[in-house]
Structures are given as structure tokens and as C-alpha cells.
């Protein structure tokens, strides 16, 4: 069997960048391959972040491109032409598959791969990630580093006996008896898989990770061939504030598009910024982010506008031409001011992203984390 490869994708967002820093600092013994998928439509700040990361990591980040031989200038334009102007959307995310996932899966081929994903401990999602059997996702920032498919197998009622044997074969401590009791409790309508998982993690993250690691040796997951895996001893749970601290303390820095820009509407001051990385025309943007793009990067806004033709628009309910009418800009800013003022009563942060967290969970893990 091929040697297990360890890979980490850099989206250009804060979380994947912070994860690269975290893994370098805490697990330098792992030979991690860093990569990024270039759509050709990223903000300049994304490329700056990648350059800063390369300096910190002391190694090059491999740039993946969905197409290398095309009459178009960049991968996105290649596919938009192929799809006859049909724009991607939340219901048709061909951009993620064609520009991010497919290049990644070609990059790893059929090799057994551990893919490190920067979803945080304060998020409840796994994202839109590869499901190939030779690729195993690990989430170092979360309480549970394991993917949903692994957890469902380990905690399955039909595997209770096997999992119990694994526990009893390991060194015992004062938690063993209670862990065994939980393992032997079947998942039911009154005791969900999530409840069982959290109960086990609350008792002991390291103990649970050791059980899962041994369980995996009976499977065909990439980790099944590894004698050791340092992250089974990882008890860190990182949330948003930790991410910004990692970026700032390392010298890599927070991407400039996260930092708020002040504006005034009806005599009141507010601010806006981007809440995510990804293409400058990403359809997951909030309307205030489109206004940010229009006013801060008008050249990019008009490039996005050029794609709106043949009845296709980036937003389902409004075109970019309509959104920049003066009265519409004013209304979007007024609504944004009201929303952020309300949320600011409960949150204090130098980053507007912390006031826009309702949008952060939307989107594709391979683009935004």
C-alpha cells in the first residue's frame, strides 16, 4: 500500500490559514503537503495571504488549476463558457466541484490521504468536502476530530461489542467504567448519536480518540495503516477568537477584506467588510458585501456584472445592475446598520465578521474555511 499522505488545503480564508499555522507549530513531525485551488477570480488579498503563509511555513504551497490548456485566461472562464453562461448558485455549485474538488481529487489520485480541515469548534457542520474512500478528513480545531461517517460506524449499535473490547484492551483509569457504560448504551430516539458522542467526549477526549484510532485499524480508512497518529492526544478546541490570534501572532496577518470599512448613512456611522474568502463574485455573499465590492473594488464589481446575461444573475431575487441604484444602496446600508446595531449589543470585536456570523455557516468548506 502507498504511504499515507497528509494534505491541507488553503482556501484563502482565515480558518484554513490558521490551521496551517497551528499544524506547523504543534505537529512539525507531520510531513504536510499544502495546496490551494486557484479559480483565477480571487481577491488580491487571498494571494497575499498565501504568500505570507509560504514564508511562515518555509515551503511552497502547491497551486492547483482545474484546467491548464484552455483558450480562456482562467479556469472559471473556461467552465462558464462550457456551461454557456450558466452561473453557479447555492443549488448548482458547479464552481466548487469543477474548480476546487476535482482538482484536489486529481492531485491526490488514489493515494491514501489524511485531509486536514479547518472547521472550528464553534461551528456545527462538516462542509462540502470530498467523499472519496481514499480521503479521510480530520478536524483538528473541533472537540471531535473525526468525520461524521467515522463516528457513525464507531458508535453504531451493531458495533457495541467490538468497541467495548477495544476499550477493555487499553490501559484502564478512573473513567473506564463510565465510558464502558456509555458505549454499551444503544442509540435510540431518547439517546441520539450526538448525545452519545458528546457524553463520551465530555468524559475524555483522549480516551475516545484512542478507541476510534484502534477501531479504524479494522477498516480501510487511510489511518488504518498508521501505527501512530499524534492528533489522538489533541484536546484543543479552537473558536473564532483563537483563529484571529493565531493569524496575528504568527505574523501572517488577517486578510484585509475581513477588516471593516466605515460608511455613513442618514447621519449615522456603520461599517462593512467581507465575511468570507472565495471568488470576488461568490453568490453566497450578503447584499451588503456586494455593496462593499462595488464601493471598494468597483473594477471587480463590474467584472461580476458582465457575467449577468442570458437571464442569469448572481442573486436569485435581484440583479447587480439593480442593487447599485442609489436608493437601493441606501436601503441595504440602512438594513445593515439596524442589524449590526442590534447584534453589537451582545458582541464586541474589531472584526465585522463577528457581527455577520449568521452567514458564515453558509457555503462550501473547500472555498471559505
pLDDT number for residue 340: 86
Evaluate if pTM is beyond 0.85. Answer: yes
Q: Are strands 268-272 and 261-265 parallel, antiparallel or unpaired?
A: antiparallel
Instruction: Indicate the pLDDT class of residue 360, thresholds 50, 70 and 90.
Output: very low
Domain final residue, candidates 223, 250, 277: 250
Domain final residue, candidates 188, 221, 250: 250
For the segment 318-358, what is each residue's pLDDT rounded down to a tens digit? 999 999 999 999 999 999 999 988 877 665 554 455 544 54
- State the Cα–Cα distance between residues 6 and 291, nearest whole angstrom: 39
Q: Cα torsion for 86, 90, 92, 93, to the nearest 10°?
A: 100
320 and 269 belong to one structural domain: yes
16 and 130 belong to one structural domain: yes
CA angle 319, 323, 328 (to 5 degrees): 145
pLDDT number for residue 124: 83
141 and 127 belong to one structural domain: yes
322 and 183 belong to one structural domain: no
**Residue 272: strand pairing partners:** 261
The mean pLDDT of 137-144, rounded to a whole number, is 97
For the segment 254-270, what is each residue's pLDDT rounded down to a tens digit? 988 898 999 999 999 99
The mean pLDDT of 114-120, rounded to a whole number, is 96
DSSP helix/strand/coil, 51: helix
84 and 134 belong to one structural domain: yes
The mean pLDDT of 146-151, rounded to a whole number, is 96
Averaged confidence pLDDT in the chain? 91
What is the number of domains present in the chain?
A: 3
**Residue 28: strand pairing partners:** none
The mean pLDDT of 192-202, rounded to a whole number, is 97
The domain containing residue 137 runs over which residues?
Answer: 5-147+237-250
For the segment 69-83, what is each residue's pLDDT rounded down to a tens digit? 888 889 999 999 999
Report the first-to-last Cα separation within the chain, whole angstroms. 31
325: left (phi over 0), alpha (psi -120 to 50) or beta: beta
88 and 184 belong to one structural domain: no
DSSP helix/strand/coil, 167: helix
The mean pLDDT of 35-44, rounded to a whole number, is 94
Query: In CATH, what number is assigned to the domain containing residue 20?
Result: 3.40.50.620
The mean pLDDT of 20-48, rounded to a whole number, is 95
**Residue 265: strand pairing partners:** 268
Instruction: Indicate the pLDDT class of residue 276, thresholds 50, 70 and 90.
Output: confident
pLDDT number for residue 355: 46
- State the Cα–Cα distance between residues 10 and 18, nearest whole angstrom: 10
123 and 15 belong to one structural domain: yes
Domain final residue, candidates 216, 250, 284: 250
Instruction: Indicate the pLDDT class of residue 368, thresholds 50, 70 and 90.
Output: very low
Amino acid at each position: 500500500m502507498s504511504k499515507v499522505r497528509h494534505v491541507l488545503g488553503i482556501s484563502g480564508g482565515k480558518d484554513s490559514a490558521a490551521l496551517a499555522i497551528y499544524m506547523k507549530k504543534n505537529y512539525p513531525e507531520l510531513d504536510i503537503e499544502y495546496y490551494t485551488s486557484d479559480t483565477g477570480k480571487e481577491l488580491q488579498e487571498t494571494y497575499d495571504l498565501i504568500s505570507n503563509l509560504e514564508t511562515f511555513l518555509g515551503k511552497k504551497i502547491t497551486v492547483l488549476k482545474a484546467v491548464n490548456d484552455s483558450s480562456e485566461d482562467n479556469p472559471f472562464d473556461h467552465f462558464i463558457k462550457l456551461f454557456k453562461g450558466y452561473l453557479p448558485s447555492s443549488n448548482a455549485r458547479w464552481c466548487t466541484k469543477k474548480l476546487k474538488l476535482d482538482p484536489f481529487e486529481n492531485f491526490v489520485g488514489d493515494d491514501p490521504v489524511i485531509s486536514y480541515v479547518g472547521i472550528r469548534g464553534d461551528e456545527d457542520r462538516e462542509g462540502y468536502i470530498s467523499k472519496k474512500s481514499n480521503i479521510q478528513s480530520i478536524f483538528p480545531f473541533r472537540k471531535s476530530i473525526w468525520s461524521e461517517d467515522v463516528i457513525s460506524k464507531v458508535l453504531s449499535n451493531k458495533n457495541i461489542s467490538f468497541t467495548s473490547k477495544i476499550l477493555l484492551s487499553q490501559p484502564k483509569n478512573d473513567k473506564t467504567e463510565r465510558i464502558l457504560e456509555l458505549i454499551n448504551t444503544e442509540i435510540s430516539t431518547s439517546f441520539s448519536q450526538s448525545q452519545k458522542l458528546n457524553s463520551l467526549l465530555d468524559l475524555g477526549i483522549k480516551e475516545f480518540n484512542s478507541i476510534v484510532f484502534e477501531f479504524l485499524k479494522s477498516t480501510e480508512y487511510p489511518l488504518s495503516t498508521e501505527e501512530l497518529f499524534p492528533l489522538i492526544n489533541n484536546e484543543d478546541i479552537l473558536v473564532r477568537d483563537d483563529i484571529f490570534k493565531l493569524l496575528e501572532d504568527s505574523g501572517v496577518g488577517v486578510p484585509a477584506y475581513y477588516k471593516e470599512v466605515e460608511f455613513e448613512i442618514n447621519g449615522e456611522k456603520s461599517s462593512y467588510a467581507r465575511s468570507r474568502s472565495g471568488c470576488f463574485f461568490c453568490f453566497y455573499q450578503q447584499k451588503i458585501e456586494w455593496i462593499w465590492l462595488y464601493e471598494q473594488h468597483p473594477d471587480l464589481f463590474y467584472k461580476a456584472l458582465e457575467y449577468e446575461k442570458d437571464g442569469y444573475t448572481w442573486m436569485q431575487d435581484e440583479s447587480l445592475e439593480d442593487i447599485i441604484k442609489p436608493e437601493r444602496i441606501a436601503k441595504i446600508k440602512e438594513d445593515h446598520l439596524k442589524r449590526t446595531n442590534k447584534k453589537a449589543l451582545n458582541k464586541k470585536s474589531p472584526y465585522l465578521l463577528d457581527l455577520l456570523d449568521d452567514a458564515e455557516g453558509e457555503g462550501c468548506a473547500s472555498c471559505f474555511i
